[in-house]
A and B are shown apart, each in its own frame.
Chain A
């Protein structure tokens, strides 16, 4: 029971950080999503040891365990855009496919090259 209370409170804290992020976004008219601002706030607070990990860890794990649930209501909205994929829109699927593979190739090759050249410099 205690464990659930802790998870519940920590989720409320996460919600609070998100709302702070949204508030900052509106206040400074930033193009960043409020959730990313909240993410950066929490990450910075954890790194600087301002906020201890154990005060947020179980809530975050619980919330992330069901991450894909939260965007299902949005993906269901695709039912209203069926006509996009009839006709020319089908090409968008091919575009996304090609673009995804280019992205994987570039980021995979560059990071592998960078890590190997770093290893060589270290002499290993």
Chain B
């Protein structure tokens, strides 16, 4: 088959599956139905079933992936709109975000190093508490594996969503600022969705924390890699 036609087919298949599964998620709002997880699973099954290699799939897949960079740039808009919330709470946000970005990376790095994982895998785990598009680009820059980095980002998100409410109750984190920043700094997008269930202030705080952690992490990550490797 023609390369262009094949690319169109794979891109179209991805978009169609995503839109369908996205509306399914919005209907039930069940974390396990998160569209990235469901769409990825279904596409992998389809590719295996029809014996298509990842390389072939990426002919079309890369078109979709090329929106990642501009989407990260676009995150400046929601952050700008929440600038008042950010400025009013500058000190708690700065402290939470900087500590969160640092602990998120350093703890993953130290744990993975303790268990003697390969350098490639440690560098892949490193940015897991940051939002996927940034985590993947960072992992790529470090010499890790971007697609596995995205998987670890998802594992982090699910960990936060599943154990977050229990942990925060245990530690007495019961303010919108504490919950929002805790969730946004550790469990990024999935955590932010959960924070909105606590309330709009939690949610806004979480999305501010998620975006700022991505920025702080982009500076801290290379510094940590330089220190440890």
Residues in A lying within 8 Å of B, measured CB to CB? 11, 14-15, 17-18, 21-22, 31-36, 38-43, 46-47, 53, 56-57, 59-61, 63-64, 66-81, 84, 88-89, 91-93, 95-112, 114-116, 118
B residues bordering A, Cβ < 8 Å? 14-15, 18, 22, 34-36, 39-40, 43-44, 47-48, 54, 57-58, 61-62, 64-65, 67-81, 83, 89, 91-93, 95-97, 99-100, 103-104, 107-108, 111-112, 115, 117, 121, 125, 128-129, 132-134, 136-138, 141, 145-148, 150-152, 154-156, 159-160, 163-164, 167-168, 171, 173-175, 177-179, 181-183, 185-187, 189, 191, 209, 214-215, 218-219, 222
- Majority SS of interface residues in chain A? helix
A75 vs B159: C-alpha distance in the bound complex, in angstroms?
A: 18
Instruction: Specify which chain B residues have a CB less than 8 angstroms from the CB of A112 in the assembled complex.
Output: 92, 173-175, 177-178
Inter-chain CA distance A68–B189, complex, in Å, is 9
Instruction: Report chain B residues within 8 Å CB of A31.
Output: 141, 222
**CB neighbours of A81 from chain B (8 A):** 145, 147-148, 151
- Residues on A with beta carbons closer than 8 Å to the beta carbon of B62: 73
Minimal beta-carbon separation of A30 from chain B (angstroms)? 9
Chain A residues with CB below 8 A from B150, complex form? 71, 74-75, 77-78
Q: How far is the CB of B42 from chain A (nearest CB, A)?
A: 10
When C-beta atoms are compared, the residue in chain B nearest to A91 turns out to be B115
A95 touches B111 (CB 8 A): yes
Q: Report the separation of the CA atoms of residues A96 and B126 in the bound assembly, to the nearest whole angstrom.
A: 9
Establish whether residues B48 and A79, one from each chain, have CB atoms under 8 Å apart when the complex forms: yes
CA A74 – CA B186 in complex, angstroms? Answer: 21
Contact present for B128 and A107 (CB under 8 Å): no
Q: Specify which of B79, B115, B136, B173 is in contact with A71 (CB 8 Å cutoff).
A: B136
Decide if A61 touches B43 in the complex (CB within 8 Å): no
- Say yes or no: A47 contacts B146, CB within 8 Å: no
* CB-contact partner of A111 in B57, B92, B108, under 8 A: B92
Assuming A31-B141, A108-B179, A108-B182, is B80 touching A71 (CB within 8 A)?
Answer: no
Asked if A105 meets B112 with Cβ closer than 8 Å, knowing A39-B75, A114-B91, the reply is no
The interface residues of chain A lying within 8 Å CB-to-CB of B154 are 75
B75 partner residues in chain A, CB cutoff 8 A:
39, 64
**CB nearest to B36 among chain A residues:** A68
- Inter-chain contacts of B97 with A (CB < 8 A): 107, 111
A58 CB to nearest B CB, Å: 10
Instruction: Tell whether, in the assembled complex, residue A33 and residue B137 are in contact, meaning their CB atoms are under 8 Å apart.
Output: yes
Enumerate chain A residues within 8 angstroms of B14, measured Cβ to Cβ: 69, 72-73
